[in-house]
Structure 1
Amino acid sequence: MKYKIATITLFLFIAVSCNTQEAVVPQTDFNFDWNFKLEDSVSGIIDTDWQKIRLPHDWSVTNKFDSINGEGATGYLLGGIGYYKKDFNASISNNQVAYIVFDGVYNNATISLNNKELGFHPYGYSPFYYDVTSVLNENGNKNTINVKVDRTRYADSRWYTGSGIYRNVKFITKNKLHIPIWGSFITTPTITKELASVNIQTSVKNKYNNTKTALLSTTIYDENDVVINTDSKKISVAKNTLLEDLTTITVSNPKLWDIDSPTLYTAITTITQDNEVIDTQKTKFGIRSIKFDANTGFYLNGKNRKIKGVCLHHDAGLVGAAVPKGVWRRRLQTLKNIGCNAIRISHNPASNEFLDLCDEMGFLVQDEFFDEWDNPKDKRKNMNEKSVDYITRGHAEHFQEWAEIDLKNTVLSHRNHPSIFQWSIGNEIEWTYPRNANATGFFNNIDWSGNYFWSLPPNNISTIKEKLKTLPKAKYDIGETAKKLAKWTKELDTTRYVIANCILPSSSYESGYADALDIIGFSYRRVIYDYGHKNYPNLPLMGTENLGQWHEWKAVMERPFISGTFLWTGIDYMGESNKGWPKKGTSSGLLDVAGFKKPSYHMFNALWNTEPNIYITSQTLDKSIYKLDNNGNPVEKQEGKWKTALWQWHNVNEHWNYNNNTVTVVEVYSNCTEVELFLNNKSLGVKKLSNFEDHIYKWTVPYKKGTLKAVGLKDGKKVECTITTTTKPTTIKLTTDQKKLTADGYDVAHIIAQLVDKNGNPIKTENQIINFSVSGNATVLGVDNGSITNTQNFKSNKIKTSKGRALLIVQSLQNKTTPINITANSASLKSNQITITLEPKKN
């Protein structure tokens, strides 16, 4: 089978603010002063009264978890039909146009303005906009926009989606001669240490009834707002036409956008007539190059790098799908701290706000378009397709009509983000095409605890080819659809690689699916990395969905031709918990749903972080995965079991509280070459990492009250970690990640409540119901304790701790600056007080 050239070099480019193309004149934050009502819900909620809200808004997360009517696929939170309404004034002159831009509405949204329908938009993840000029009332009279969101198909996904206008909305007015929405594209086709050429492709739309001439100018600024270079030219645009202009501007001694130093430049493009600026476009961008090589992997700015990635869903625990930027910042920074450098947005396009953060923080991003193509997935039964009833009908029913629109809107809106380095056209699509799936020999013969993950394809290549020829063909062909999606992508952007997450790559190589790709991604098939590279050597491959275990990373490190991995998952998420009540989500993350670190997080800190690090866990021998050998050392009960560990990290504790003399196994996760363990300052021996094939230091330790301390040595540097026996809780310790907030109605603070003993040690073995008290100008977004089985309503001030801790998130109010004071108490304990000051928003 023939493939495209093994090495493709791509160069890029740009990032922008909330709606990727940010118009400086005039752009209105359209998120405030909306009204909402939930008219119909499966649970019987009928709210006929309008309530004041601010966008982004997710009504499902405000519901109670419902084990009777809800579905585990979408986290046992219900949908319904929601109505949004906003009154606003908009005075535009005869030489102006107006647009409303939605970054995402979930889903089946009907938008009307002044009782005139603007359109219907079914897909919940793609951005869209409307030209509303002709529908606005004249003379600045009041306008009313209505959005109806039909989420009665409340099990229409395999994960929690949220419901409503859960992303940002903008109202934009422009001159009739203007740069349209998403009408700018910046690339950097040539980069050297001395010089970078920046291509600015600008669309100029003339909605006048006569030809217009103007001056089109672009100026590039560095990160300190110092002018770097500028270009100006006269343009002439015929009536009711679109002009495409390409300008090249050079940047001397460019600072590159990189994982470790994500430098962003700014391009400001203006249209000037008669010495008056009539339109302005401001775009942040990064200068960087990317390359994938089929033999040597991934290169960023000419440097060979391993992709240390995680998959993320778009919810964030207690805030649901309407995630404030500050919530994502905390979570992404926590991942960044262990060396994570890439995010796969699974399995849908990201919000522009999320991509802004990735641009700013230095994350590579795989932006994924679809989880369904021509054929549906039964959301509750996953791969065992029996039937698809009303509540499970997802976007597949709209795919034929809407796929091109959704894909192209996403690319146009997102292509100016330097963080994006891959477009993924689909996730685990193969099993929705019976012919493709059956050709592998796997389907109808899969053991999800064993043979799929660790076995070579049951059918060899010749058998797969033969079956693809002889098995009955269905209405749609996976290869043809893949080629169509790739073609649409490259019509708008050839600077990035097209990839897909293939769950059955052995058949995808032969079905035409892989022919559409620049890189093929393997989903849980690291066992056939060598198979893929040997038999299809010209197509780069990497892991795009992999287990959060050492054996997965080991397989990447041992193979230069594997660019990296995306672990499933970086953070626990709601949904995909079919018949799992009270388990409301999926707990395969390095962080839990509250963003608290889990043991697997510390393991990947040891694997991905180059700075010396160390962490201690423990477990009683009987509950551990170990037994003692003849020398009294811990060894696996099932020898080599670590090589086939799946999604869940094995059961360990992060405390040192047991019955006296209980035999425990102490595990240390570290990247140090040697570690010495101490109990109450008595050495229990020095061990070397090279002696532990599973990358986990282990000691057998009879429990004694006191302090365990591990001291590691790496490259001459020492690092240590301790855990201490705790006594009864005496207080609740409150901490916050923010002591100041901007009074803009968006900024958030995370307050962690931790039970502690008289010595200030965190207690992880006891739990209490605590009540948060919040005064001042703040909105309480909710509470959580991180447990995937916590089914208490998030919208509360009260919660029972898990592992002795809980989380409260508060958000500032717009233009309100009374300080926020927060305390907590339980039946017997009180906390310290946290005070957060509020600062006026800067213009």
Structure 2
Amino acid sequence: MKKIIYIYCVVAIMSLSFSQAQENTQDFNFNWEFKLSQDSVATKELMLSGGDWEAVRLPHDWVIKGSFDSANYDTAPATGYIYGGGIGWYKKKFDLDLSDAEEAFILFDGVYNNSEVWINGQYLGFHPYGYSPFFYDLSEHLHADGKANEIVVKVDHTRYADSRWYTGAGIYRNVSLIVKNKLDVPIWGTFVTTPKVTAASAEVAAQIQVANHFGKTHKGTLTTQILSPAGEIVATASVDFVLKAGEEQTINQSFEVASPELWDIYQPNLYRAVTTLESKKLSSSTTTTFGIRQFKFDPNTGFTLNGTNHKIKGVCLHHDAGLVGAAVPKGVWRRRLQILKDGGCNAIRIAHNPGSNEFLDLCDEMGFLVQDEFFDEWDNPKDKRWNQNERSVDYVTRGYGEHFQEWAEKDLKAVMLSHRNHPSIIQWSIGNEIEWTYPRNADATGFFNNMDWSGNYFWSESPYSPEKIKEQLEVLPKGKYDMGETAQKLSDWTKEMDTTRPVVANCILPSASHLSGVGDALDIIGYSYRRVLYDYGHKNYPNKVIMGTENLPQYHEWKAIMDRPFISGTFLWTGIDYMGEIRKPWPTKGTLSGMLDFAGFTKPSYHMMKTLWNSEPHIYLATKELNKSINRIDEQSGQLVAKNPKAWETALWVWHDVNNHWNYVPGEIVSVELYSNCESIELFLNGESRGKRTLDEFEDHIYKWGVPFEAGELKAVGQLNGQTVEQVLRTASQPVAIQLTIDETTLQADGYDVAHVVAQLVDEDGHPVKSEEAKITFDIDGDLRMLGVDNGSGTSTQDFYANEVVTNQGKALFIVQSLKTKGDATIKASGKDLTSAQVKLEVE
């Protein structure tokens, strides 16, 4: 009997980014002070007694303001050549008067990492994991005499290469102060699902915890109203309750919503459940934003959302975002996600650790499907400098594996409680590429420990049959921990919290994982770079759902999925370039497999995937000197062809080197590649046709022409389903000016809103110059916060936190953020021998 996984909508999240929004939740990000120390034994008292505290606001990543330095090579693969070690100290004074009926909590959405917290000198606790949310009860330790309270946070990142990959350091996610009645819904105490969904109606189920922290019995009424996306009340339910002192109770409410507006990738409609609790003179409310939707994974037909079959067109993302590091403003993520969305992406795998609630808010609002991943290592550690080869067990690389036995259940459940109300989440991933940390699993395949990154691992099945692998797993020593048992434990914890979503893992050795007990623990087995095993997996395990969960941003990956209805989709590695995992020498600072670069500018692979993931016509023009290209002129036909006509079938992470300009030596032959979904394209040089070609002529999905260079205009005109689209490159002369564009001209004076300013070199005719570089200096006139600069290049080692930058392909990015002051502001860009430019902003 085949296994079908049915999932009926889960909830989303609220405006305050913490799963349930409380009317008495306060933004606690402002007015902090910070000090960085390299003294690992200094006491809290010693640190607080000293001066030199820096005023900061949260979220805050102390690492990203550092400089790239080749001297940091020892940890470069993990950190990106920026040293991030040390112990960070944060402190904040605040006033808070609680009544006898109230209690107060501080909620951290993420602190990287090994944090300790004190309030008014009283120790609250230790939290090692940098990616899970946590909170403390402050109530008993607050001053009651009008004296200001002081909270102190210690962040120990002396293990500065302890995760894969760039982590940043500090209180890098949002913090909230929550004041609640002692009779109230606890933090993360609401869970909304929709067990039954049709076009005519949806059943909404709310599971609500109520806690009585008074010293006597209380009774009251709990009322929940369901509000439509337009804010209209569409359903209401009330229930009376009685709670003894110290008692907690779960109340279940059910609602019927007629003609529901479904959440999906095209129309991410969001409802709200407003829960009000009243008892005598006490009253409080909690708002949970959720989406109504249903989905299923089928081992034969793939993924279906709201009754429609979809391919998951996903990308993997790390939590850093270029010049802002790990402390990413919501607007920075919004810009990046919108670019990915415009390219056809509909899903995000948050790799390899849980994301922030603010990031998930955006996925809810923008219509992204999400795989939320808990851990990158389990019982045994990984060396964060290199994949697989555990070259050292030194102090700086020891990460979460040191805490896994004690903390895994607590962290997994905290993440789920905090995240479970996001409709975007469709999968819980219990781990990423864990197999190589358990030698038995690696050895059982017969080839993994001799893996050649360019050869057999990607393109060959295991030399052992399933029977042989099973036999090996039975005789090879398990070691202290068994991977299958750990996977089952993690899966059980996950299903204890939520059965509305499937459990998945990203398996780099699926041939062994199917048989080691890992497959039994999973609803879906994710294949990491093993698309060659899709048919193998479907044949040998026909009732198991399989899909790609880490794959290459290349045409052959997507073709393999489109040719197989039983594969739900993929998550490509990666959506955006990220810091760390360096495989090339200095000055490379990160992994360059992204479809967007460090600045969020699109790369050739983005345009290839856009032509595969969209039905709207699209053309991207790429050029290269013929002698430097992957192409050649065929002697018989005179046409441009690939030097290796089968190379596209085994292309790996990084796209081959091409340009997006028309500036070459007169008469030299230029390789012209067009990435397009058009049925046919005609290429023109200065108005003269260079011929018309059809897409079905090119097995690798890349149009090709060999064109003798002549200054002027290179234009491609394509046709798709009766639509015409054009793409033009023009020869540019020397840059004489800077052209500025800005994505926002009005910012809110909230201290969060951001604007992205893009500077492009242009010639005297206004044509973009992409083959010359220049230094650009940005200046701000007005009350704005500078976040920094970037040119997107993976080999640029210029400081991010600066106001000047040398361009890459004639372009650079400058990001500013509002303060809490209103008024007009002007951003000016200037450079030597360049006409300057400026843009204006209004902060209101």
- TM-score class, shorter: over 0.9
Question: Which of 314, 319, 327 does residue 322 from structure 1 map onto?
Answer: 327
Hey, what's the Cα distance between the residues in 1 that align with 2:296 and 2:765?
53
Q: Please name the residue that 2:148 is paired with.
A: 142
**Which stretch shifts more, 11-20 or 94-103?**
11-20
Hey, what's the Cα distance between the residues in 2 that align with 1:89 and 1:22?
24
Q: CA deviation at 1:210?
A: 1.4
Does residue 301 (structure 1) correspond to residue 302 (structure 2)? The answer is no
Q: Please name the residue that 1:489 is paired with.
A: 494
Q: Please name the residue that 1:508 is paired with.
A: 513
Q: CA deviation at 1:794?
A: 0.8
Q: Go from structure 1 to structure 2 and tell me whether the alpha carbon gap of 1:5 and 1:84 turns closer, same or farther (over 3 Å shift).
A: farther
Q: Please name the residue that 1:282 is paired with.
A: 287
Q: Please name the residue that 1:440 is paired with.
A: 445
Does residue 834 (structure 1) correspond to residue 839 (structure 2)? The answer is yes
Q: CA deviation at 1:698?
A: 0.6
3-state SS, counterpart of residue 287 of structure 1: coil
Q: Please name the residue that 1:21 is paired with.
A: 19
Question: Which of 574, 577, 592 does residue 582 from structure 2 map onto?
Answer: 577
Does residue 742 (structure 1) correspond to residue 748 (structure 2)? The answer is yes
Aligned partners of 1:744 and 1:813 also within 8 Å = yes
| Pairing of 1:362-761 with structure 2 (within 5 A) | 362-577=367-582, 580-629=585-634, 630-761=636-767
Which amino acid counterpart does residue 684 of structure 2 have in structure 1? Answer: F
3-state SS, counterpart of residue 292 of structure 2: strand
3-state SS, counterpart of residue 413 of structure 1: helix
Aligned partners of 1:380 and 1:578 also within 8 Å = no
Aligned partners of 2:583 and 2:591 also within 8 Å = no
Q: Please name the residue that 2:67 is paired with.
A: 64
Hey, what's the Cα distance between the residues in 1 that align with 2:313 and 2:618?
17
Q: CA deviation at 1:66?
A: 2.5
Q: What root-mean-square deviation, in Å, do the aligned CA atoms of Structure 1 and Structure 2 show?
A: 1.3
Which amino acid counterpart does residue 603 of structure 1 have in structure 2? Answer: M
Q: Please name the residue that 1:780 is paired with.
A: 786
**Which stretch shifts more, 21-30 or 316-325?**
21-30
Aligned partners of 1:734 and 1:831 also within 8 Å = no
| Percent of pairs with identical residues | 59
Hey, what's the Cα distance between the residues in 2 that align with 1:239 and 1:554?
62
**Which stretch shifts more, 623-632 or 804-813?**
623-632
TM-score, normalised relative to structure 1? 0.97
Q: CA deviation at 1:341?
A: 0.2
Does residue 8 (structure 1) correspond to residue 5 (structure 2)? The answer is yes
Hey, what's the Cα distance between the residues in 2 that align with 1:554 and 1:747?
40
Q: CA deviation at 1:41?
A: 7.9
Hey, what's the Cα distance between the residues in 2 that align with 1:829 and 1:19?
44
Question: Which of 46, 49, 53 does residue 50 from structure 1 map onto?
Answer: 53
Hey, what's the Cα distance between the residues in 1 that align with 2:499 and 2:70?
47
Q: CA deviation at 1:5?
A: 5.0
Does residue 789 (structure 1) correspond to residue 786 (structure 2)? The answer is no
Give CA deviations for 1:121-176 in whole Å, capped at 9, x if unaligned: 00000000111111111144211100000001111122100000000000000110
Which amino acid counterpart does residue 738 of structure 1 have in structure 2? Answer: E
3-state SS, counterpart of residue 440 of structure 2: helix
Q: Please name the residue that 2:44 is paired with.
A: none
Hey, what's the Cα distance between the residues in 1 that align with 2:295 and 2:135?
31
Hey, what's the Cα distance between the residues in 2 that align with 1:312 and 1:665?
32
Hey, what's the Cα distance between the residues in 1 that align with 2:217 and 2:812?
63
Hey, what's the Cα distance between the residues in 2 that align with 1:158 and 1:582?
19
Question: Which of 808, 812, 815 does residue 818 from structure 2 map onto?
Answer: 812
**Which stretch shifts more, 8-17 or 429-438?**
8-17
Instruction: Give the gaps of 5 or more residues in structure 1.
Output: none
Q: CA deviation at 1:831?
A: 2.2
Instruction: Give the gaps of 5 or more residues in structure 2.
Output: 41-46
Aligned partners of 1:39 and 1:48 also within 8 Å = no
Q: CA deviation at 1:579?
A: 6.4
Question: Which of 86, 94, 112 does residue 88 from structure 1 map onto?
Answer: 94
Hey, what's the Cα distance between the residues in 1 that align with 2:69 and 2:342?
36
Question: Which of 144, 153, 160 does residue 154 from structure 1 map onto?
Answer: 160
Aligned partners of 1:19 and 1:413 also within 8 Å = no
Hey, what's the Cα distance between the residues in 2 that align with 1:752 and 1:165?
29
Hey, what's the Cα distance between the residues in 2 that align with 1:555 and 1:831?
49
Which amino acid counterpart does residue 249 of structure 1 have in structure 2? Answer: F
Q: CA deviation at 1:580?
A: 2.8
Q: Please name the residue that 1:824 is paired with.
A: 829
Q: Please name the residue that 1:33 is paired with.
A: 31
Q: CA deviation at 1:22?
A: 3.4
Aligned partners of 1:178 and 1:204 also within 8 Å = yes
Q: Please name the residue that 1:360 is paired with.
A: 365
Hey, what's the Cα distance between the residues in 1 that align with 2:838 and 2:282?
51
Give CA deviations for 1:336-379 in whole Å, capped at 9, x if unaligned: 00110000000000100000000000000000000000000011
Q: Please name the residue that 1:207 is paired with.
A: 213
Residue correspondences, number: 831
Q: CA deviation at 1:510?
A: 0.7
Hey, what's the Cα distance between the residues in 2 that align with 1:604 and 1:49?
50
Give CA deviations for 1:732-768 in whole Å, capped at 9, x if unaligned: 0011000000000000000001000111111100001
Q: CA deviation at 1:277?
A: 5.5
3-state SS, counterpart of residue 68 of structure 1: helix
Give CA deviations for 1:756-787 in whole Å, capped at 9, x if unaligned: 01111111000011111111010000001000
